Amino acid sequence: MNKGKAKLYIADLLLLFLFVAVDQFTKYLAVLKLKGQPDVPIIDNVLTLQYLENYGAAFGLLQNQKTFFIISASLFLCLILFVIIKMPNSPKYHHSHLLLVAVAAGAAGNLLDRVRLGYVVDFVYIELINFPIFNVADMYVTFSAALIAVQILFVFEDEDLAFLFSKKQS
């Protein structure tokens, strides 16, 4: 492994820890300040802080499927690691590194909750559109995955993604 790639991996790892720490800290605050308390409106009828112990996925799907979520998240994290390792060390991909780290941090943050607590702590509710209650980890995954999709569809050419299918390591 060359020095530039090692520096990039170290930066990725530091960002991952930072993002997970922010997610876990916000969940800690949600437990401390919101659990057992009335909802806290931030913007009336638009945005509310509301504590929820989520044993499933969004929209109440897959309730009490802890093992499924732990295995799925672990496999997903392995896939992200594979992509990061295969990705060339080029400025063209630095945004992709950041986005993949954010997705990994979201998956890891919710995985930590499931392993440690048996559920995920959610606390942000967009009342205006009756969106399922979510957390910072969910924001990492949603926004980063959307931006990755934009990159794949509108920025990268086919050859920019060839590294995923080549036998040699970039």
Distance CA 25, CA 33 (A): 12
Residues 6+ apart with CB under 8 A from 26: 123, 135, 136
Q: Which of 12, 39, 138, 160 is catalytic?
A: 138
Could you give the count of Cα atoms lying within 13 Å of 110 in the half-sphere of its Cβ? 31
| Per-residue CA distances from 49 to 44, 46, 105 (Å) | 11, 10, 22
**Cα first-last separation, the chain:** 10
Q: Which of 23, 122, 158, 160 is catalytic?
A: 122
The amino acid at residue 145 is A
Whether 113 sits among the annotated catalytic residues: the reply is: no
Strand partners, 120: 54
Parallel, antiparallel or unpaired: strands 47-54 and 40-43 = antiparallel
Whether 138 sits among the annotated catalytic residues: the reply is: yes
Q: How many residues does the chain have?
A: 170
Q: Which residues are catalytic?
A: 122, 138
